[in-house]
Amino acid sequence: MTGTIEIKVTVSEVVTPSLFAALMEVSNPRQRAALLKRLADDALRGRENVGLAYSAQQGRTVAQQTAVSDSGTLPAHTQMKPASVVDKRPQTLADSKEAPSETSDDAHLNYLADSLSAFA
Amino acid sequence: MKTHASVLAVDVGYGNTKVAVRNGSEVSTFMFPSLTPDYQARTMTKQSNGVLRAIRTVGIEVNGKQYEVGPEVPLTSRNGDPGRTLVGSYCTTDSYEALLGGAFHFANVSSVDRLVLGLPVQTFQQHAEALRSKFSGTLQFGDEEVRVGNLMVLPQPLGALVHFSQHPDFNPSQRNMIIDVGYYTTDWVVAKGLTMEERRSGGHQSGASHFFQKMAELIGAATKESALAIEEIDEAVRERAPYYVFNEEINLDHYAAQAQSVPEAAVNAIGNSVGSTNDIRCIFLTGGGAALYEPAIRAFFPRNRIEVVKNACFSNVRGFFAAGEATQMRERDKKRKEAMTA
């Protein structure tokens, strides 16, 4: 049996500027998705037995690995599941281990910028 | 080799200094105690050829004096340090500056486009402008130099609200209240969306340190020992670790229950300031002392939905960081458009 994973990914210029720039070079959506897969696969093949979560840990500075550190977003991971299974968002704040990553989509970034520009 | 960061967020609290910095696609956070004893070089560690482990602290020079800053600064050094007492002008002290220097050091950052700092609600109007001018441009910590493009200053509890504004339950047209229980102060903000209602927001000089001080007094009276370090009690409560006075194990739960008069006083002040809470959809508890104040807050606001923020001590700094990135992106876009039309 062959597994497939369906993922909807938002690539933000703020969060991953290099990846954003690379993907902007390609205008066709299918080719853009293919490029994303190739970049991710190439990165994984370049490391032996290293998952994404582990590589994220390795990228930290010594201070950021102290006992008092916490990684902010949950470790990057994907989960094998049938395409029919729908993601469930946390029902309460207490259910969510953390809020989503700090600046996750453009609409929210714009809302923050509109609301907080007076403080900048 | 230290690096450049687009945004660095630092929440210099009375108890701990919290830092957020982007690390690839993640935002990393870490913290260290807001303690700045005089720096003493540890020559024995150097001479031991690795037998003694070097502790993670660094000497930060401010106005010609070296302060020791870092995750492993001795907890008992709190006594006698000028930065320990509750002063409204804490952000103008050398201790504050040294802690900020420590934040840059441990984040491994030497220059930043936007630095985001927070101030307590009570002193925000008084000090925000002074902070902006003091910590913009080139900052000198002895021989170490860091460059700050511009500084954004936010009321501390607003950080937690910004952080949770991404949650599906957040509605910009509804009111929420954030209660931020810090080490020396408890701040609260009522906001509709992200717009603060200043009349219903404020601060009270009560926090985790007052709670632990009360516990220390009660334990001291019971054990006839007056010189108990509240930092040790703090650590034992947070880590659910046994606590001893000489060889006697102390039941901390018993004394924590007796110290509830401290949060009750703060909650009364919040209640007087906020008035009726029937228009508040959710009360978020945040800050390092949130768990200590939770029972009193639930008792006072029995009909409100109350959420205790997980990893509460980092929620403000995460919000600072998100605010910094969002406004930075807006300004970058604006400059790009201006360049295209020029």
Q: Indicate whether A14 pLDDT > 90.
A: no
Pairing label, strands B16-23, B26-33? antiparallel
Shortest Cα–Cα distance, B69 to chain A (Å)? 13
B71, B193, B310: residue with CB nearest A98: B310
A50 SS3 class = coil
Residues of A whose CB is below 8 A from B323: 112, 116, 119
A100-111 burial by CB neighbour count: b if 16+ within 10 A, else e? bbbbbeeebbeb
| B residues 51-90 closer than 8 Å to A (CB) | 56, 71
CB atoms A103 and B325 under 8 Å = yes
CB contact under 8 A, A68 and B32: yes
> Are the Cβ atoms of B28 and A71 closer than 8 angstroms?
yes
- Contact list in B for residue A63 (CB cut-off 8 A) is 30, 56, 71, 105-108
DSSP A9: -
The pLDDT assigned to B20 comes to 96
Choose, out of A106, A114, A115, A117, the residue to mutate when testing the contact with B (most B CBs < 10 Å).
Answer: A115
Chain A residue with the nearest C-alpha to that of B323: A112
Q: Rounded CA gap, A31 and A27, in Å?
A: 8
Hey, are the CB atoms on B23 and A59 less than 8 Å from each other? yes
Q: Report the alpha-carbon distance of residue B338 to residue A17 in Å, rounded.
A: 21
A34, two tokens: 């293919």
Q: Which residues of B touch A72 (CB under 8 A)?
A: 20, 26-29, 314, 318
Question: CA nearest B132: which of B147, B150, B119, B145?
Answer: B150
Query: What token pair was written down for B43?
Result: 């020559």
**Single pTM value for the model:** 0.71
CA distance B308 to B179: 10
B164 touches A at CB < 8 Å: yes
Q: Minimal CA–CA distance to A117: which of B331, B156, B134, B21? A: B331
Residue of A nearest to B31 (CA): A68
Q: How far is A30 from chain B (nearest CA, A)?
A: 23
Distance from CA of A1 to the nearest CA of B (A): 32
Which two structure tokens, joined as six digits, stand for B307? 């959420």
Residue A86 distance to chain B (closest CA, Å): 16
Residue range A46-100, pLDDT digits in tens: 654 333 332 333 333 333 333 333 333 322 233 333 333 333 333 344 433 344 4
Beta carbons of A103 and B154 less than 8 Å apart = no
Give the span between the Cα atoms of B185 and B298, in whole angstroms: 19
Q: Is A70 helix (H, G, I), strand (E, B) or coil?
A: strand
> Chain A contact for B249, CB < 8 A?
no
pLDDT by 10s per residue, chain B, length 342: 688 999 999 999 888 899 999 987 788 999 998 889 888 776 555 555 555 555 678 899 999 999 999 988 876 544 444 344 456 688 889 999 999 999 999 999 999 999 999 998 888 889 999 999 999 999 999 888 999 999 999 998 889 889 888 877 788 899 999 999 988 889 999 999 999 898 999 999 899 999 999 999 999 999 998 878 888 898 898 888 999 999 999 999 999 999 999 999 999 999 999 999 999 999 999 988 999 999 999 999 999 999 988 878 898 999 999 999 999 988 888 888 888 887
Q: What angle do CA B277, B283, B289 make, to 5 degrees?
A: 125
Q: Which of A76, A108, A113 sits opposite B166 (nearest CB)?
A: A108
Q: How far is A41 from chain B (nearest CA, A)?
A: 17
Q: Do A109 and B314 touch (CB under 8 A)?
A: no
Question: Taking CB atoms and an 8 Å cut-off, how many pairs form between chains A and B?
Answer: 150
The answer to whether the Cβ–Cβ distance between B164 and A98 falls below 8 Å is: no
User: Rounded to whole angstroms, how far apart are CA atoms B15 and A26?
Assistant: 49
Q: What pLDDT is stored for residue B211 in this prediction?
A: 95
A56 contact residues in B (CB cutoff 8 A): 23-26
Quick check: B165 and A93 CB within 8 A?
A: no
